[in-house]
Amino acid sequence: MDGVKGKRIGVLMGGPSCERDISLKSGTAVCRALENNGIKPVPLELIKASTMNGYGEEVASMIHASNIDVAFIALHGEFGEDGCVQEILEQLKIPYTGSGIKASRLGMDKIRSKEIFEANNIPTPRYRVVEKTMDSSRDYLKLLGSPVVVKPSDEGSSIGLSIVDSEKDFNDALNNAFTYSDRVVIEQYIRGREITVGVLEDKALPVVEIIPSKRFFDFEAKYKEGMTEYKVPAEIDTQTYAACQRIGLEAHKALGARFFSRVDMILNKDNKPVVLEVNTIPGLTETSLLPKAAHAAGIGFNQLIFKILEQILW
């Protein structure tokens, strides 16, 4: 606690992304937890943006004017998880929580992260990439097997994601994804159990199983109360459980993520974990998945938030 005395701890939240409202909830919860730890935070709500032109300069001025010594990043999605705010903080020489610029960019970019998973023999669904300027008339359902998952290459919280069972629905799903990104990932759909492995202090936390009432863990299932059941720890056999933790940690390390993250996976029909993505700034409310996993390891929410802050104070 001595490392905190006299320091202004800024909590960055809000921002321009589609996940702004979730970020505000994370940031508010982080501020409350810091106060419970005897720390008075400096809440910094980053503004919305009608255009990203000049947005970075405006945020840099705001952060500089706040006179903070340390930044606790509770931003999700664009500008917060993609290395942009991290780059600003490094230019301002302000230490910040979580992963660095490169790992943040890789975690946000589903295409580059998949390439790294493949290079490190980390199982991930087969996929193809479509850009707006490309001919998208190929029969991806035949190529990858039906159904397929269509999603933007750089969004979180399942925003813009569709599961496509038939060719007639493919173009609508593709156009929906293109509203969020110029590049779209078309991915093999893996049938199985949805699980996530939180990482804290670069160690795997207890495995969480996610049981949505809908077909998959979409934005509504994530954030609407009562839509999803969680089992912590997941009720899977010992060998599979250990494999999930090992592969989750491998994915975290392969991207160069720092201190904490959350790795989302599917446990396929052969009981083998398949990695979907690494979230470098997962949700940080008391009911979010990383805090659920930490709680199962005996780490309360206030302690979790202090541990994340503590990493950059010593």
Answer with the residue of higher pLDDT: 175 or 214: 175
Residue 248: is its pLDDT beyond 70? yes
Whole-angstrom distance, CA of residue 275 vs CA of residue 50: 34
Per-residue confidence (pLDDT) for residue 72, from 0 to 100: 98
Question: Lowest mean pLDDT: which of 26-30, 69-73, 78-82, 204-208?
Answer: 78-82
Strands (E), 221-272: 228-231, 260-268
Task: Report whether pLDDT(170) > 90.
Answer: no
Per-residue pLDDT reduced to its tens digit, 261-289: 999 999 999 999 999 999 999 999 988 99
User: Rounded mean pLDDT of 208-217?
Assistant: 72
Measured CA to CA, the distance from residue 176 to residue 62 in angstroms comes to 34
Q: What is the pLDDT of residue 110?
A: 92
Q: What is the DSSP letter of 47?
A: P
Which residues contact residue 120 at a Cβ distance below 8 angstroms, ignoring those fewer than 6 apart?
250, 254
Q: What is the mean pLDDT of the segment spanning 189-212?
A: 94
Task: Tell me the CB-side half-sphere exposure of residue 204, using CA atoms within 13 A.
Answer: 22
Kindly indicate the confidence band of residue 216, based on its pLDDT and cuts at 50, 70 and 90: low
**pLDDT confidence of residue 280:** 95
Which sequence positions are flagged as catalytic?
19, 157, 223, 262, 264, 277, 279, 283
pLDDT per residue over 48-62, tens digit each? 876 677 888 999 999
CA distances from 79 to 49, 176, 242 (A): 11, 21, 34
Q: Between 30 and 314, whose confidence is greater?
A: 30
Mean pLDDT throughout 235-250? 97
Give the pLDDT confidence of 107-123 residue by residue, as tens digits. Answer: 999 999 999 999 999 99
pLDDT at residue 225 in the model = 58
d(CA 98, CA 38): 22
Q: Output the CA–CA distances (angstroms, integers) from residue 167 to 140, 143, 150, 164, 173, in the order listed.
A: 9, 12, 12, 8, 10
| 203 vs 47, higher pLDDT | 203
What integer pLDDT is reported at residue 286 of this predicted model?
86
Quote the DSSP letter at residue 201. Answer: T
Structural domains of the chain in order of their starting residue, each with its CATH number:
9-97+305-310 (3.40.50.20), 107-123+191-280 (3.30.470.20), 127-188 (3.30.1490.20)
Other C-beta atoms closer than 10 Å to the C-beta of 193 total 19
Compute the mean pLDDT over every residue in the chain, rounded to the nearest whole number: 89
